[in-house]
Each structure stands twice: as C-alpha cells, then as structure tokens.
Structure 1
Amino acid sequence: LPHIATLGYGVGPGGEIIDTFPYFVSGVLHLISSAVLGFGGVYHSLIGPETLEESFPFFGYVWKDKNKMTNILGYHLIILGLGAWLLVWKAMYFGGVYDTWAPGGGDIRVITNPTTNAAVIFGYLLKSPFGGDGWICSVDNMEDIIGG
C-alpha cells in the first residue's frame, strides 16, 4: 500500500490520504491474483500433466541448458526494464509521484528534469555501504531516482 501512495494515488497535499478507493482496488486485485495462483497450483499438483514439457515444450528446461537459462533471465530483465520505464513515464507524464522531500511534508509532483548524468547515478554505488555515507540509501531527491 505505501507504493500506491508513492505513485500518487489517493494522496493529497502533505501526504494526507484523501481517497481510499485505489487501496481497495489494489487489495481486490491481489486477492483475485492470489486465488488464480492458488487454483493453478492445485490444478497442476492434482490434475495437470506430470511434466510440462509434454504439453508445452516452450516451458520445459534443463538447468544445464545455458541458452534456456539465458532466455529466462533475459525475459525477466526485460519485464523489470519495462516496469522501470512505466515508473519514469508515470513520474514525468502521467500525474507525477509522491515526493517526501517536497516542502510542507511532501506532495505529488511531476518530475520535469530527471538526472541523466551517469556520474551522479553511479556515484551512489561507489559510496561505502559501511559507515555514514548511506550507499544507495543516500538518494535524497526524486530526480535521481527517476533518472536512475
């Protein structure tokens, strides 16, 4: 639920929750998704084929098959990349995101100038994770998050 607020749904000035309907919709979608996942698990354990390769060869794999493992990793990275781009588009063009560092206790704002300087973005990785530097956690503005 905090991630829905971060995207700016149902949040007003100062971080106050003004509409709970987006949270209700998220709960319902999670409930339906978990039911589908649960029914799928029961189906495949009781009724479905013993091995999936018999019916759907695309889903079959052997751990030693480097090409198949690379494809699986690639598909996951592509989906993660698309999700990151959706966040960038939401922040820049579709209503903005909640910025906790905005004056007055935080507000929803559109990110108009994301950080595109690679030295700034990768500079967070070069900080020490030990001590007071904060490593990746030291990001303190939405421009760096959206630009990264």
Structure 2
Amino acid sequence: YYTYSLGALSVFGFIACCFVWFNNTAYPSEFYGPTGPEASQAQAFTFLVRDQRLGANVGSAQGPTGLGKYLMRSPTGEVIFGGETMRFWDLRAPWLEPLRGPNGLDLSRLKKDIQPWQERRSAEFMTHAPLGSLNSVGGVATEINAVNYVSPRSWLATSHFVLGFFLFVGHLWHAGRARAAAAGFEKGIDRDFEPVLSMTPLN
C-alpha cells in the first residue's frame, strides 16, 4: 500500500502541475499570473496595438517569413495572431475574447474596438510571463517590471512537478524493495544473526 500511495501522490503532483500551468479558469490569471500561452498572446497583442497606432496595416503586413506579421490563419481557418505565438492560437482569455468574431479575431474590432483595459491587461501579462528563474533575469525581450519576478503560477507548477518527480522516485524505490522482499532476495543485514539477538533484554 505504501508504494501504491506514493505512486498515486506522484500522479496527483503531475496532474496538479499541468492544471496550474495551463489552466486560466480554475487558476485565474488575475491571481496567479498569466499562463505561458497567455503571456505570449499578450505580447503579440501589445505590439499589434502599438504598431497599429504608428500606422501599420495589421491585416496585410507580412513578417520576415512571408507569413502575416500580426495576423494569419490557423490550420482550421480562424484569424489568429502571427509570429511565434501562432502555436498558442487556441488560447482563450477574458481580455481577448471580446475581439473575436465568428472566424477568429475580428479585424474590424481590432481596428476600432480595442479598449484601454485590454491594453493594460495584456501589457501586464506580457511583462509577467511565467519564465525566468529564481535569481531571475528571466530572459524575455519584454521584461521590464518582471526582473526578479517569479509568478505564483511558476512556483505552484514547479513545486508540484518536483513533488511528483520525487514521489515517483520513491514509488519505484519502494516497489523494488517490496518485490525483492516478496521474492526473497532483499539486500541488507541478515536479520537472523544480528548480535543484538543474543544480548540480554534491557529490562
């Protein structure tokens, strides 16, 4: 039962790690900091807002790869943010959903209906991505207020992963010991011939 319990707790740790890292509903970003995908999409959105103000046509601008610099289409046809954040194209977040139409991001809303609160929220999430290390200089180009910042999401996800890992090692260790004991070849002191067995009781 001990081995089984360690294995179960290990699985719980890994599951909790995944939930904390990816879920922005049960673990809202306002409390825990943004998820990685959310911070990435926030960065794309923040620069779309900035460059659109500077006169860029975000609907047709091409990036260096020939794909859309700001907007492109997902494999299933939705309009999504371009650039590296395309891999997070299916992110859903409260600050982004009002800008979607029936086919993904709505170009007319992006041009005319971005609200100040959405800009503020995405700028905050962009600069507080769950990256970096505990002595953090993080390593993202957008890092301003985030130096030496490690989000609660990073702490929770990392701690549960480490917990899950060590409990898994314990599970393997004790499973091996239990199997060896059952098979009769457990390593260790031969308990039948310990000196203490021939000594007089203390009382």
Q: Same fold (TM over 0.5)?
A: no
Structure (1 or 2) with the greater helix fraction: 1
Larger radius of gyration: 2
**Bigger relative contact order, structure 1 or 2 (CA pairs below 8 A, ≥6 apart):** 2
